[in-house]
Amino acid sequence: MSLFDSHRLGDLTLPNRVVMAPMTRVRAAADGLATPSMATYYAQRATAGLIVSEGVQPSLIGQSNPGTPGLHTAEQTAAWRPVTAAVHANGGRIFAQIMHGGRVSHPDTTGIRPVGPSAVPATGDVFTPTGPQPAPVPRALETAEVPEHARSYADAARRALDAGFDGVELHGANGYLISQFLSSNANLRTDRYGGSVTNRIRFAVEAAAATVEAVGSARTGIRLSPGGTFWGVAESDIPELYAALLSELARLDVAYVHLEATIAEDVLLELRRAWPGTLIVNPTVPMGPKQAGRADADHWLALGADLISFGRAFIANPDLVERLRLGAPIAPADEATFYQGGDAGYLTYSAYQHTN
């Protein structure tokens, strides 16, 4: 199997097995609106087998960072339509990543105290309109409130399809709300959403089930970071926790599971064996020291992954698929422009220039 073979994903035929991973770029306009520059950015990368958008908040209280887009108002939905249309015009396919930040937020960003499974703050500084500030103590959700936050993923998914997206990916990784419920130190609950493995996966399963009911299983994926420690989360019973979660996701027949290489390879291989459907592997730790390349992709395809996601490599290489195909150099990205806004370091990277 080659990185450049096609793959059937739900109702879509992907022309290759290269996935553009979701990456926050904080280029949205006021009120969480997508912009013409965002349409150009994603359309430039439409040769990917699948694009997964940056994290999109499903509610105001779900917003993590300033400058990020939403899918919880009619105006936001309308603003995404030119983006998805541009990707489709260039022959691409795009899923929206639905990301509820939970405790990884700040009142200066949203005007609202963040919520989480328990009143335990994230580790580190969060982004705010005036710069980094210590993560605040979130308000612990009441039991009766939890289902509405699970349903917020489904509500955003409906809007995503209305906006022209081909499907959605639930952000269940990297220390955000679903990940917080899976955690054994961010989630200290003693109700049906905390404690045991069965209870800790419940929120993720309810969010996925609501989304499947809203838009169909073929249009619903989920991203997970087993054993990841982003924003200070820790997980106990990792193999048992994720085997139980994958069993429930298999019952829902979701389109794919997107695993980050945040734990030892042997554990990931056990999860591959436990998951009967399409598996996307992000072969290096997000924002870690190593950037994924062709060798990493080939390694994981040989181990049973179906699709390989690339993050940072797509920033400076809009033609990444062709560079991987040719073995051409992968250009470095300017980290100073990752989150600064504007078109510099966003639309200013060019395709590989062939020389005779």
Distances in Å between the Cα of 39 and the Cα atoms of 76, 93, 177, 216, 274 are 14, 13, 28, 26, 37
**What pLDDT shows up at residue 1?**
84
- pLDDT for 35-81, tens place per residue? 999 999 999 999 999 999 999 999 999 999 999 999 999 999 999 99
**What pLDDT shows up at residue 285?**
73
**What pLDDT shows up at residue 60?**
98
- pLDDT for 128-156, tens place per residue? 999 999 999 999 999 999 999 999 999 99
Residues 6+ apart with CB under 8 A from 289: none
Q: Which CATH architecture has domain 7-337?
A: Alpha-Beta Barrel (3.20)
**What pLDDT shows up at residue 287?**
67
Closest CA to 10 of 255, 208, 257, 292: 255
**What pLDDT shows up at residue 340?**
87
Query: How many residues does this entry show for the chain?
Result: 356
Residues in the chain predicted with pLDDT less than 70, given as ranges, are 287, 355-356
| Sign of the alpha-carbon torsion through 66, 72, 74, 80 | positive
Pull the structure tokens for residue 233: 């989360």
Residues pairing with 50 in the sheet: 19
Integer Cα distance of 340 and 356 in angstroms: 37
Integer Cα distance of 57 and 260 in angstroms: 21
**Residue 236 burial by Cβ neighbours in a 10 Å radius (0-12, 13-18, 19+):** exposed
DSSP assignment of 174-237, as one string? TTSHHHHHH-SSS----STTSSSHHHHTHHHHHHHHHHHHHH-GGGEEEEE-TT--GGG---SS
Integer Cα distance of 161 and 319 in angstroms: 26
Q: Which residues are catalytic?
A: 176
**What pLDDT shows up at residue 69?**
98
